[in-house]
Amino acid sequence: MGKNYTQMKYISLNDKNHKVSFEDAVVRGLAPGKALYFPEEIPNLPKGFFQNLNKHSKEEIALEAIKPFVGDEINKNGLQRILKKTLDFEFPVVPISENTGTLELFHGPTLAFKDVGAGFMAGCLGHFVKKGNLGKITVLVATSGDTGGAVAKGFLGVEGIDVVILYPKGKVSEIQEKQLTTLGQNITALEVNGNFDDCQDMVKKAFSDSEIGEKRQLTSANSINVARWLPQMFYYFFAYKQLAEKEQKLVFSVPSGNFGNICAGMLAKKMGLPIDHFIASNNENNVVTRYLKSQKYLSKPSVQTISNAMDVGNPSNFVRILELFNNEFKPLSNQLSSYSYSDEETRKAIKKVKEKYDYVMDPHGAVGYLGLQEFLAENPDYYGIFLETAHPVKFLETVEKVISEKVEIPVSIKEVMNKEKKSIEISDYAELKEFLMQ
């Protein structure tokens, strides 16, 4: 039997003596000095649990996986309620070829994999606000495309919480922009003259600004927040449940930007989920691909690509990945490969997979597909899954041009496209501060 965790502590990755409860980690978002929180202990789930995954519903699997991280800070009924609401859609593995399948993570309300993390965090934060005397909370979030829409939808109308989304002007798709600028109520969108890294830096800076801290209680809904990051591990359990019959070794290719998703998968492996290898598939924002080649981590300002949600120059979660491996390069590089692709290669992959397998990938999934094929070419004894992290309709212009076909637009997207965009333009941190100090 696994250990019974009643209270998991979260340490700061800058100072392991700084420890807080799950609630504190969620409410604060970031530890002092812009550091990330990390679970003090990684639980081991019992072997029997993995052997019997296919006997359990997705809500039961998620409950077992997340319970040790939440402890008794949210009771079982409360956690079940949050999970039921969060996981109210499917996570199918779709076979593509003999040795390749895709895990479709885009069946949620905003057609992006972020819906799970956003829904779970909104549920947890809503629970803590309701039960305690926390006062009003402002959720700050930086987005390169998809997080913003998912967080906006997940937190819409949640009492006691205001959401402020920063997104880079002109660098998100039309649908993504509509999803994060049209909801109103407790959601405000700030359109930043800059790139995603500028947005993410401003958000992190606001956390260490004591004047803002006196005026507003801030937290983050990016994957730096443990309640946004941890539930992303569910995907790997759900995929494994559908793959239990496969006898080959198993590899996951994860289109990566801020590296929260792949890091959650590696956490699931550490908890006992039998995954053999991971691939971080990158567009030209490839700091981790370069790190694995050179052992030197040299971040660069992000460049704009057609897989825009991965246009991240300095991924927040890479420090968590290093922590999972005690900062040792060898064991990390044994478990993780990484490749990087240009937009041209991404377009060609979308076209090829449509023609050969009649499957339409979005640009992010296509980068994942390319990474997987490169790995499988050298490791033919594996079965590979690439994650389809967003619905192709979110990148309509790119995808339709490449496949020379119309993509059917779901009703929810048609509705959002007819709404009016409302945003406030800002250019620097001073303007963000002015807004937050109002």
Residue 46 is classified by DSSP as: P
**One-letter identity of residue 71:** G
Question: Closer CB to ligand PLP, residue 143 or residue 373?
Answer: 143
Q: What separation, in Å, do the N-terminal and C-terminal C-alpha atoms of the chain show?
A: 52
Fill in the per-residue mask, 133 to 162: x = in contact with ligand PLP (CB under 6 A), - = not in contact: ------------xx----------------
Q: Does 261 help bind ligand PLP (rule: CB under 6 A)?
A: yes
What six digits make up the tokens of 334? 């044994």
Q: Does 260 help bind ligand PLP (rule: CB under 6 A)?
A: yes
Q: Helix, strand or coil for residue 252? A: strand
Question: Closer CB to ligand PLP, residue 29 or residue 260?
Answer: 260
Indicate which single residue of 310, 321, 349, 436 sits in contact with ligand PLP (rule: CB under 6 A). 310
Torsion angle defined by CA atoms of residues 371, 373, 374 and 375, in that order, rounded to the nearest 10 degrees: 90
Residue 419 is classified by DSSP as: S
Fill in the per-residue mask, 207 to 226: x = in contact with ligand LJ64HWYM (CB under 6 A), - = not in contact: ---------------xx---
Indicate which single residue of 39, 257, 313, 392 sits in contact with ligand PLP (rule: CB under 6 A). 257
Tell me, by CB under 6 A, how many residues bind ligand LJ64HWYM. Answer: 13
Q: Does 112 help bind ligand PLP (rule: CB under 6 A)?
A: yes
Residue 24: count of CB within 10 angstroms of its CB: 15
What six digits make up the tokens of 115? 């819906």
What six digits make up the tokens of 436? 């937050």
Please name the residues in contact with 376: beta carbons below 8 A apart, sequence gap of 6 or more.
99, 100, 251, 382, 384
Integer Cα distance of 12 and 220 in angstroms: 15
- The secondary element (H helix, E strand) that includes residue 94 is strand 93-97
The answer to whether 114 is a known catalytic residue is: yes
Which residues, 145 to 174, sit near ligand LJ64HWYM by CB under 6 A?
145-148
Indicate which single residue of 179, 188, 256, 285 sits in contact with ligand PLP (rule: CB under 6 A). 256
Chain residues binding ligand LJ64HWYM by CB under 6 A are 143-148, 222-223, 257-258, 260, 309, 316
**Active-site residues: which are they?**
114
Chain residues binding ligand PLP by CB under 6 A are 112, 114, 145-146, 223, 255-261, 309-310, 364, 389-390
